[in-house]
Amino acid sequence: MAEHREVAYTTAAGNDYAAHEQTYEGFIKLVKYGTVAVIVIVAMMAIFLT
């Protein structure tokens, strides 16, 4: 069988860690503000629809 070695991502060509970190931070902001928006919508529904 073939040998299975670990992939060395740090030495792979084409890795752009700055872009990766920027994308991750954007995703975290989207999740954070999306969660806050959903909580606000649910709170407004609880206030105005009861």
**Tokens, residue 14:** 């084409």
Tell me, what's the pLDDT at 17? 82
Range of the domain at 45: 17-50
0.95 exceeded by pTM? no
pLDDT tens by residue, 1-50 = 567 777 666 666 677 888 889 999 999 999 999 999 999 999 999 999 98
- DSSP secondary structure of 4-21: -----TTTSTT--HHHHH
Q: List all residues 6 or more positions away from 9 whose beta carbon is below 8 Å from its beta carbon.
A: 15
State how far the Cα of 15 lies from the Cα of 28, in Å rounded to an integer: 21
Number of domains making up the chain: 1
CA distance linking residue 39 with residue 46, whole number of Å: 10
- Number of neighbouring beta carbons within 10 Å of residue 38: 10
Q: Flag whether 5 is in a domain.
A: no
Q: Is residue 9 part of a domain?
A: no
